[in-house]
C-alpha cells in the first residue's frame, strides 16, 4: 500500500473519533511518534517536481490542509503566521487553497490568498482551485478566485472551469466565468452547434441553456431532411426534423450532449 494512502487512512480513522482539526493535529503528532516508519516514507511536494520524506513537513502540510478543508480559520491563521507555506502541496499536488475551494470554505480561501497562496497552482491532474470551486458550485469562492486573477481557461482532464460549470449545471458560476472573459468551448451558451445525426442531415441552433448533459437549443437552420428525418428520442426530443410537422427554424428543442456533431459553428 502506498505510504501516503496509509497516512490518509490514518487521518480518516482519527476523524471518526475527533471532530476538531486541532486535536487531529495532536493525534497525528502522537501517531508519528508511534509509527514513524509510515510517515518517514510518506511524501509531500516541495515544488520543482521534488518531494520530501520529512515526517515533520508531512504533518505540517497535512495539518494545514485539514485546517483549510474544515474552515478552521483560527488554526489556519496561526499556522500561516508561524511561517507555514501557503502553497505547500501533498503528494497529489493539492494545495490548501484547493482544499478550501473544494470544501466551500470561503473564509479559509480568503485567508490563504491574503497569505500569498498561488491562485493558479495546479494538481497533478491539472485541477486548480477555480475548477474545484466550480465543480462544487461554490459561487462565492469562484468569484473570489476570479477577483484574484484565477486563470479562467486553465484546463484539466475534465475540461476548463466553464466546461465543468456547464456540465454540472452550475449556471450562476458559468455566467460569472463568461462575463469575466472565459473562452467558449464552442458548445457554451451563445454558441452555435449542430445535431446532424441523420447521415449528415439534421439541424443547427444556438445554445440557450445547459443543464448537465442536456442542451436547450433555438434552431437556426435545418440541414437536409427534405422530406423530414425520423424522430430520435435523445437527439430531437422525440420530434421529426424538417418536413411539414417536424422541428423547424425557431423551434426550441432539448438534446443530449452526445448528439452534438458540430460545435463552434460560424
**Residue 10's CB: how many other CB atoms inside 10 A?**
19
Residue 189 grid cell: 451558451
| Residue-level pLDDT at 185 | 79
* Three cell numbers, residue 166: 456547464
Residue 65 has pLDDT above 80, yes or no: yes
pTM for the whole structure: 0.73
Is 144's pLDDT higher than 80? yes
When pLDDT is cut at 50, 70 and 90, the band that residue 158 belongs to is: confident
Query: Do residues 109 and 77 touch, judged by C-beta distance below 8 A?
Result: no
- The chain-wide mean pLDDT, for the chain, equals 85
Q: For 187-223, how does the pLDDT look when each residue is reduced to its tens digit (9 = 90+)? A: 898 999 999 999 999 999 999 998 888 999 999 999 9
% of the chain at pLDDT higher than 90: 60
Which residues are CB-contacts of 63 (< 8 A; sequence separation ≥ 6)?
21, 24, 25, 28, 79
What pLDDT score was predicted for residue 59? 77
With contact defined as beta carbons under 8 Å apart, do 80 and 100 qualify?
Answer: no
Residue 235, C-alpha cell as written in the block? 437527439
**DSSP letter for each residue of 140-204:** HHHHHHHHTT--TT-EETTEEHHHHHHHHT-HHHHHHHHHHTPPP-SSSTT-EEEEEEETTEEEE
Share of the chain above pLDDT 70, in %: 79
pLDDT at 40 > cutoff 50: no
d(Cα 69, Cα 88) in Å, to the nearest integer?
14
* Domain span(s) for CATH 1.25.40.20 in the chain: 3-180
Q: CA–CA separation, 95 vs 25, rounded Å?
A: 17
Architecture of domain 3-180: Alpha Horseshoe (1.25)
Amino acid at each position: 500500500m502506498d505510504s501516503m494512502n496509509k497516512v490518509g487512512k490514518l487521518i480518516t480513522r482519527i476523524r471518526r473519533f475527533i471532530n476538531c482539526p486541532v486535536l487531529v493535529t495532536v493525534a497525528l503528532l502522537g501517531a508519528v511518534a508511534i509509527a514513524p516508519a509510515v510517515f518517514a516514507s510518506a511524501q509531500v511536494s516541495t515544488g520543482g517536481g521534488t518531494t520530501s520524506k520529512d515526517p515533520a513537513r508531512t504533518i505540517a502540510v497535512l495539518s494545514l490542509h485539514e485546517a483549510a478543508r474544515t474552515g478552521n480559520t483560527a488554526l489556519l491563521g496561526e499556522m500561516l503566521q508561524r511561517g507555514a507555506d501557503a502553497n505547500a502541496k501533498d503528494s497529489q499536488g493539492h494545495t490548501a487553497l484547493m482544499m478550501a475551494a473544494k470544501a466551500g470554505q470561503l473564509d479559509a480561501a480568503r485567508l490563504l490568498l491574503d497569505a500569498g497562496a498561488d491562485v493558479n497552482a495546479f494538481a497533478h491532474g491539472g485541477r486548480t482551485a477555480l475548477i474545484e470551486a466550480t465543480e462544487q458550485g461554490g459561487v462565492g469562492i469562484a468569484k473570489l478566485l476570479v477577483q484574484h486573477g484565477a486563470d479562467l481557461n486553465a484546463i484539466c482532464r475534465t475540461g476548463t472551469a466553464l466546461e465543468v460549470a456547464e456540465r454540472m449545471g452550475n449556471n450562476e458560476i458559468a455566467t460569472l466565468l463568461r462575463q469575466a472573459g472565459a473562452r467558449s468551448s464552442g458548445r457554451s451558451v451563445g454558441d452555435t452547434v449542430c445535431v446532424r445525426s441523420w447521415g449528415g442531415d439534421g439541424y443547427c441552433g444556438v445554445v440557450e441553456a445547459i443543464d448537465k448533459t442536456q442542451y436547450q437549443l433555438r434552431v437556426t437552420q435545418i440541414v437536409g431532411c427534405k422530406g423530414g428525418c425520423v424522430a430520435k428520442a435523445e437527439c430531437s426530443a422525440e420530434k421529426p426534423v424538417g418536413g411539414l410537422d417536424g422541428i423547424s427554424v425557431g423551434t426550441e428543442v432539448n438534446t443530449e450532449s452526445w448528439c452534438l456533431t458540430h460545435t463552434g459553428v460560424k
